[in-house]
Each structure stands twice: as structure tokens, then as C-alpha cells.
């Protein structure tokens, strides 16, 4: 007689296998990291995210950037990482207070490492069925069609999928790399 596995145990084993597939690079489907900005749910391809940090554990050095979209800088292993206000970019209300749920998604675009501020990171989820662009508010799609690639339904909630490969122009990446070096040299003597 075959031993039955309870639903909780089966889900735990499936989640564990999915995590091992992601870590080993053998996952057969694209995985997304789902997060919350404003009233909307957003997702990024997992391969574009280096790590997720709790913003409350870091000092964000503000008012040291000439770029309007930069909220400030944090230091990771003595490297200055610009924190981009994706809220401003998308035309949403910005985060004023950072609480224990506020997250920083450390992402990459070419040689640039940068952080995106979000209210909360919810989950890493596979794309099971990606939808067309039809469920995205038209004003968002018109303004940001370069970085919005589609939608998906996650727990019966629409999620907008972003792709950061087109977020910065090459000259913007160079500008941010230069500014990061400048910030590192100015703050290198401080205890960061």
C-alpha cells in the first residue's frame, strides 16, 4: 500500500523543489518577484534582481544626487548604490516614511547596480500564464510601454510585469556610475 502525503506536505515538497530549481538554475519557467508599489502590484524577472533588503536596516543618504529620480544612496560593502524612486518614474505617490515592511530591491542594468524602493516584497512566483497588455491602465501603458511587458493574475490580483533592461538609456547608466563613484569618494571616510 502506497503511503499518502497530506496536502500541506505535498505543497511544502513542491515549494522546496521549485526553490532548488531556482537556485540551481534548472527552473524551466520564468520566475518573477512580486512587490507592491502604491495601489498596484508589480513584478520583475528574478534574474534582474540581485537581492532584497529591508530598508529600515540601512541609512539612506539623501540630497546628495542631482538626478531627480534618485531618492538617495545606501552603502553595501563600501559601494554606493543609488536608490531609484520608481514611484516618481511611474507617477505614483512616493514613500515618505520607511517602515519595517519597506523593501529595497537591488537590481542590475548592465554594469549598474541600483535599488528600487517598494512598500513590500510579497513573493517569488513562476509565470504560469502571462497575459497581454490589455489589463494595464492605459495612461501607464502609454507613458511606460518600454518597461511594461505584460500582466499576470497572482492570487486573483492583476500584477504588472516590468522589464528593467529598457529602464535606463546607456548615457543614464554612465551618469549614475560616475555619480556613484563620486558619492563613494565623498563618503569613504565616514563610517558606512
What is the per-residue DSSP string for the chain?
A: -PPP--HHHHHHHHHHHHHHHHHHT--SS-EEEEEEETTEEEEEEGGGEEEEEEGGGS--B-S--S-TTEEEEEEETTEEEEEE-HHHHHT-PPP-S--TT-EEEEEEETTEEEEEEESEEEEEEE-SS-B-GGGS-HHHHHHHTTTEEEEEEETTEEEEEE-GGGTS-HHHHHHHHHHHHHHHHHHTTS--
CATH of 30-187, one of 2.40.50.180, 3.40.630.30, 2.102.10.10, 1.10.3720.10: 2.40.50.180
Question: What is the per-residue pLDDT for 118?
Answer: 86
The tens digit of pLDDT for each residue in 46-97 reads 888 999 998 888 888 887 777 777 888 999 988 899 998 877 777 776 666 6
- Global pTM value: 0.72
Amino acid at each position: 500500500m502506497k503511503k499518502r502525503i497530506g496536502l500541506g506536505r505535498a505543497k511544502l515538497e513542491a515549494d522546496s523543489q521549485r526553490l532548488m530549481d531556482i537556485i540551481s538554475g534548472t527552473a524551466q519557467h520564468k520566475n518573477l518577484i512580486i512587490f507592491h508599489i502604491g495601489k498596484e502590484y508589480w513584478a520583475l524577472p528574478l534574474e534582474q534582481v540581485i537581492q532584497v533588503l529591508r530598508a529600515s536596516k540601512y541609512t539612506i543618504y539623501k540630497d546628495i544626487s542631482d538626478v531627480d529620480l534618485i531618492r538617495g544612496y545606501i552603502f553595501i560593502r563600501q559601494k554606493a548604490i543609488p536608490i531609484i524612486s520608481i514611484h516618481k518614474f511611474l507617477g505614483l505617490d512616493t514613500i515618505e516614511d520607511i517602515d519595517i515592511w519597506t523593501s529595497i530591491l537591488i537590481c542590475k542594468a548592465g554594469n549598474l547596480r541600483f535599488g528600487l524602493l517598494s512598500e513590500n516584497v510579497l513573493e517569488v512566483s513562476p509565470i504560469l500564464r502571462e497575459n497581454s497588455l490589455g489589463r494595464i491602465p492605459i495612461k501607464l501603458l502609454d507613458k511606460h510601454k518600454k518597461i511594461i511587458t505584460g500582466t499576470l493574475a497572482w492570487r486573483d490580483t492583476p500584477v504588472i510585469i516590468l522589464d528593467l533592461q529598457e529602464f535606463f538609456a546607456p548615457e543614464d547608466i554612465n551618469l549614475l556610475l560616475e555619480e556613484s563613484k563620486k558619492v563613494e569618494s565623498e563618503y569613504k571616510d565616514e563610517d558606512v
